[in-house]
Amino acid sequence: RKGTAVITGASSGLGLATAKALADTGKWHVIMACRNFLKAEKAARSVGMSKEDYTVMHLDLASLESVKQFVENFRRTEQPLDVLVCNAAVYQPTAKEPSFTAEGFEISVGTNHLGHFLLSRLLLDDLKKSDYPSKRMIIVGSITGNTNTLAGNVPPKANLGDLRGLASGLNGQNSSMIDGGEFDGAKAYKDSKVCNMLTMQELHRRYHEETGVTFASLYPGCIATTGLFREHIPLFRLLFPPFQKYITKGYVSEEEAGKRLAQVVSDPSLGKSGVYWSWNNNSSSFENQLSKEASDAEKAKKLWEVSEKLVGLA
């Protein structure tokens, strides 16, 4: 049978390119879990995916109710779940004030981390039930976790501190930042990606042996053309792609990045659990090192426990 992969945020950028790459193999049915149904449907058609290769299902990660509803709706389809890809993200680098999810969490961490945290915890049960030979859960990370690169060291740097802002609700009353500091949209995004990478490792430690599920994260390269940068100032949007192409040489096309993530979904040679994948300039994959904070097991455990409380799992 075909594998079934759920991809969040498959209506543009990396998620769409990955959906397309998987559909093109003829071996996958992709559930595009998206907040904008019409946009996702149009996107799938625009890249030439054929009807039988995908299903669009509604998921708004900025609402925990929507996450639960998605899981129910997915279960009602009675399809197996073989791979989950947590890909969707918001990035608000120029926001002066925080905005908030339905439950009142700062939106970058609320969407990118807490929404995916609940989704992955709920869908782990479905993954366990699958009889697919290689079951995987992938959480897309970012270069923020690499200390061995220039881009990973550009300020404002991620820093979760002692998680005091998160523990106090991340709701703007006490703090809208995980470390309890002043709001900074770019930092909130980077913090959320560190949470993604810590969560992947904690899932690996808690569930890999018991379930056989492979947990992985990755940095697909700098895809300077995606919608992620839509809220940046126009001059940045103009200069960023050539800067990445010619100066840092970290640039990858959406198509290439989609192929990379599709490898993490299905390539037998990328089946190791607990790994953060990256690619060399010649497009060969390797197991990358994470920064000190993004591989801090104690912090991962604390993050897990605080996040469980916030999403109502504890």
* Chain contacts with ligand NDP (rule: CB under 6 A): 8-9, 11-15, 34-36, 39, 59-62, 87-90, 111, 140, 142, 193, 219, 222-224, 226-228
Residues 49 and 46: their CA atoms lie apart, in Å, by 8
Q: Which is nearer to ligand NDP, 1 or 281 (CB)?
A: 281
Provide, rounded to whole angstroms, the least separation between the CB of residue 284 and ligand NDP. Answer: 18
Catalytic: 54?
no
Provide, rounded to whole angstroms, the least separation between the CB of residue 85 and ligand NDP. Answer: 10
Q: Which is nearer to ligand NDP, 162 or 255 (CB)?
A: 255
- Closest residue to ligand NDP, judged by C-beta, is 13
Q: Which is nearer to ligand NDP, 12 or 130 (CB)?
A: 12
Residues 188 and 56: their CA atoms lie apart, in Å, by 29
Beta bridge partners of 5: 30, 83
Provide, rounded to whole angstroms, the least separation between the CB of residue 237 and ligand NDP. Answer: 12
Residues 267 and 97: their CA atoms lie apart, in Å, by 42
Residues 268 and 259: their CA atoms lie apart, in Å, by 14
Element (H, E) at 56: strand 54-58
List the catalytic residue out of 54, 91, 132, 189.
Answer: 189
Provide, rounded to whole angstroms, the least separation between the CB of residue 17 and ligand NDP. Answer: 8
Residues 209 and 189: their CA atoms lie apart, in Å, by 31
Q: Are 259 and 285 in contact (CB under 8 A)?
A: no
Q: Mapping DSSP to helix (H, G, I), strand (E, B) and coil, where does residue 192 land?
A: helix
Q: Which is nearer to ligand NDP, 142 or 199 (CB)?
A: 142
Residues with a known catalytic role: 189
